[in-house]
Structure 1
Amino acid sequence: MNIVLNHRASSEPRSLTLEQLKDLSLKLINLNKDIIVHIISVPSEYEILKDLVNKLDKENIKLLPKTEGIGEAAGLLKYSDMLVSVDTGLIHIASVYNIPIVGIYPLTENSAKLFEPKSERYEIVRGTKSGYTIEGVSLDKVAKSVNKILEESVYDKRCVV
């Protein structure tokens, strides 16, 4: 199970911190031994994230190759099993590929209504502070949402057999 994890939005209040990124990565790999978390980076943060992944030293937490634009990122995303991301264009790209998504959105009503994923299967977890911020988002809720989708996927596969 290859999960792409994107922590960076267009502004700091809508982005996960590096500490939150680290914590969420560890929570996700602890859900299931078959999960591989692939952290995606904006070019300017590639070296910082490379250091973070190296320090974590976990076989199932990896950094995706450095991309130079959204087209290259879309190409990498196409082959993933799930996207966990703050509210960015990657969510919309994953929707085009109908990839399951766990989106991290601000509490603001319009954000989720206007920019929700269009994939058949998605979950939205929101921050708890008013405004255009994800402050107060529960990483445990994000991990539970990922697990919920994983459990449904396993169940669906069993029904097909």
Structure 2
Amino acid sequence: MTNNSLSQQSNHKLHRRFIVGILNKFYKHASSKELPESINSIIILAQEKLGDAILLLPFINAFHKRFPDATIDLCCTSYNKKVFEGIPFIRNCISYRPFNFRFAKLIRSQKYQILYNPKSGPSSTFHHLTNVINADVKVCLEDIYNNPIYNYHLPNKDDRHITEKYCELLFQYGLKTPVENWLPDYFYNFPSSISEKKYIAINISAGHQTRRLPFEKWKKIISYILDNDHEMHIALFASKKESSDAVKIKNLYKERVHFPLESPNLYYAAGIINNAQMLISIDTSLIHLAAALNKPIIGLYNNDKINYARYSPYNTISDSVISNSRFIRDIESESVIKSYNALIKKEK
């Protein structure tokens, strides 16, 4: 990351800790309690990012299997609500951001056996929600800023995959690793918008500059794939920031590169990825979507070992190309091509 990016992230974390520290001075501290032998109702706090929402799905599915008669309510945001709102065994899927009267009514009228906050660090929003929601046992992952208002603190290992971190509550009830990856049925109801039988899905969307792979490197990777298999096509995912690069790649191979894609949301993206030979992607939410679809993945990561341990593809048919620096741009095209050759050979 650039020094500016690192400074912004550090300042954001410090700000959250400062606010939560202030809240702890005013909120009533919780006494220690044991978990119940069985759970009959739970409210789950879901983070805002799409990747985190997808990674929470295995916990929700495993929880329902372990406690099939339990009432499940889930708090999310309007941004990621579509990930959860069609799950039939969730009673209420309701947005806490933006604040709304339906949410206010729910948290005032309900009492839960368990409140579960699976976020590994402090959040002023979740702290406020935890303080006002009525629950017998409030559960969090161990954190010095979160701990004061929670009754039960779960293990919080830095280097554990987020999918497994989210399942820490269920590990107390006998769940074993690896956790079963899972997507709701409606993610499979959207057919691919690409009619060609053979294509590779490639995501060049970076999210921010530190994750960006330069155009010339993407060009070399895509040229290699298409020049070595004349039946292969490319489905190209790109955000607005990378759209100019995507257009240039499209112009190189015309009808063999499909861009822009008809993927207005994750459902349509799931349809495209599910029919692809594999996904090649920067470290973004599409990696977690492809892993849940059990598709081969080549993920591009920087050299942050903790981040990789937490957000690597959670399946067994993937490969990762890790930069020797904190910048993904330092990954060489040849490294990606080498992984592509190895993975495509396995799939034949």
Q: What's the TM-score once normalised by structure 1's chain length?
A: 0.82
Residues 53, 62 of structure 1: 8 Å contact kept: no
Corresponding residue for 1:116?
A: 312
Give, in angstroms, the shift of residue 102 of structure 1. Answer: 0.5
Matched, 1:71 2:288: no
Residues 218, 333 of structure 2: 8 Å contact kept: no
**5 Å matches for 1:1-161?**
1-42=198-239, 44-45=240-241, 48-49=244-245, 51-129=247-325, 131=326, 133-154=327-348
Residues 297, 313 of structure 2: 8 Å contact kept: yes
SS in 1 for 2:315: coil
SS in 2 for 1:128: coil
CA separation in 2, counterparts of 1:50 and 1:107?
26
Give, in angstroms, the shift of residue 106 of structure 1. Answer: 0.5
From the superposition, tell whether residues 28 and 8 of structure 1 become closer, same or farther in structure 2 (CA, over 3 Å).
same
CA separation in 2, counterparts of 1:107 and 1:121?
21
From the superposition, tell whether residues 65 and 135 of structure 1 become closer, same or farther in structure 2 (CA, over 3 Å).
closer
Corresponding residue for 2:93?
A: none
Which amino acid letter does the alignment assign opposite residue 39 of structure 1? L
Structure showing greater radius of gyration is 2
Cα deviation per residue 1:89-144 (whole Å; 9 max; x = unaligned)? Answer: 00000001100000101011112211110222111001121x3x213101111111
Residues 250, 259 of structure 2: 8 Å contact kept: no
Cα deviation per residue 1:20-47 (whole Å; 9 max; x = unaligned)? Answer: 22222112223433322211122x2585
Identity percentage over the alignment? 23
Give, in angstroms, the shift of residue 19 of structure 1. Answer: 2.6
Residues 277, 296 of structure 2: 8 Å contact kept: yes
CA separation in 1, counterparts of 2:246 and 2:331?
25
CA separation in 1, counterparts of 2:219 and 2:254?
11
Which amino acid letter does the alignment assign opposite residue 336 of structure 2? V
Structure 2 residue ranges without an equivalent (≥5): 1-197
Q: What's the TM-score once normalised by structure 2's chain length?
A: 0.40
CA separation in 2, counterparts of 1:65 and 1:143?
24
Give, in angstroms, the shift of residue 49 of structure 1. Answer: 4.8
Give, in angstroms, the shift of residue 75 of structure 1. Answer: 2.7
**RMSD (Å) for aligned C-alpha atoms:** 2.1
Q: Which has the higher contact order (CA 8 A, sep 6+)?
A: 1
Cα deviation per residue 1:61-88 (whole Å; 9 max; x = unaligned)? Answer: 3325243333332232222120000100
CA separation in 2, counterparts of 1:119 and 1:76?
19
SS in 2 for 1:143: helix
Residues 205, 242 of structure 2: 8 Å contact kept: no
Which amino acid letter does the alignment assign opposite residue 63 of structure 1? F
CA separation in 2, counterparts of 1:79 and 1:32?
18
Residues 235, 261 of structure 2: 8 Å contact kept: no
Which amino acid letter does the alignment assign opposite residue 79 of structure 1? N
Corresponding residue for 1:157?
A: none
Structure 1 residue ranges without an equivalent (≥5): 155-161
